[in-house]
Structure 1
Amino acid sequence: MSERLLIVYAAINMIIAVGAGAFGAHGLKNTLSADMLAVWHTGVTYQVMHALGLFILALLWPKLGAAVGTAGWLMLGGIVLFSGSLYVLALSGIRVLGAITPIGGVAFIAAWAVLAWAAWRQA
């Protein structure tokens, strides 16, 4: 992944997250139960946080090198698996989909660990 792609993926994910947040607040508040709306909100929150993380990775790339690209792929995968599974769970009610969510969480943790390692390596 390149710096430019990190920025593109970050921006696309922010667009999706803002849209999903607005959809949850306005379109789903009368449709979903409070529990499922909270699940939706958690997906939005983590998508925003990690989309911002993708922007940060793009800024750090010149200083930390190509390992940042690996962190970016892990973060993007985490968004798809974590937030995506929560969105589908909230809309469908299929609880089994919740089993996918932790895989996304592990991808998030791995992304931040790769970033920490890349920074440590530069010190």
Structure 2
Amino acid sequence: MEENKNIEKLDAFAKKYVQEIPQEKPSVDFTASIMQSILTENTYATNVFKPKALITKKGWLLIIGLLLVAIFVPFKQMKEYSFSIPEFDFSFFNKFQMPNFIESFSVSNIVLYAVFFFGLMIIAQLVFLKDYFDKRVY
């Protein structure tokens, strides 16, 4: 009971002093000044945020070069440089009797066309979405 009286007194006190506070009116050019500050803030934010690629062009060239070297350099020539690749015997795979799923598995042309066009649509969406988000950032 006593808590309710304290709450009522506090509520009456707050209402009295809130009514005494004079109302502030914004200036005539309040909206224009807010929009100007938002505009300056946006220009500052675009100067700060500059997207960069995770892998630079030099990095991509290095990766592609290493892949090409790994593909086109014959491994037998590497033995001359005292680098030998161990030879593994995979003949133990012949002991496993597994049914030939791949030979009995067939895919219709419609499914192949659907997968092909689905892949094309995913690539198209990636291109358009990247363009959309690039325009949104700038």
TM-score, normalisation: structure 1: 0.24
**Greater Rg, structure 1 or structure 2?**
2
